[in-house]
Structure 1
């Protein structure tokens, strides 16, 4: 696993979270149609677990401090934060290429 994989999974997890919060949940509670919550929620759950597994693996491989893992963990539970974390990952991904 590499930073590029982590970024991809993180973006997908972030998108799935926004879909759950801003499309599926309103459809359930405002329109009485819970079907999207079932599928989007399951997809988000799988992506969330995958993100944490990939994050842990990449942190170990890159020998990043615990702080980096915790930043990713917090980013994965706050709306829009995965995209900010991705910005940080992008800078780390490009850093070795510039050296």
Structure 2
């Protein structure tokens, strides 16, 4: 289950960055392309975000995280590059 969480953490981080790229770069270049990509990118990111949060709850006890560590893992999903940090610091031995 930890390997799945590690994969989802990386995928969620990438989807977050792709969503930002679409919002900040593609929107300025081609509005039609932006509109066409917004739903699939947003849906993928939303599913990965929910999966990240749910899997963090599931593996919380098996990883022996303290409450503070668990909150850090959850809050990292709101920050760009946050899930990459979590993957390196808390999931390095998965």
The TM-score with structure 1 as length reference comes to: 0.80
Return structure 1 stretches of 4+ with deviation > 4 angstroms: none
Asked if the contact 1:14–1:83 (Cα under 8 Å) also holds between the matched residues in 2, the reply is yes
| Higher fraction of helix | 1
2: CA distance between counterparts of 1:43 and 1:29? 22
Aligned residues: 91
Q: Greater relative contact order (Cα 8 A, min sep 6): structure 1 or 2?
A: 2
The two structures, once aligned, show a CA RMSD in angstroms of 1.7
> Which residue matches 1:58?
59
The TM-score with structure 2 as length reference comes to: 0.84
1: CA distance between counterparts of 2:83 and 2:63? 19
- 5+ unaligned residues in a row in structure 1: which ranges? 95-99
> Which residue matches 1:18?
17
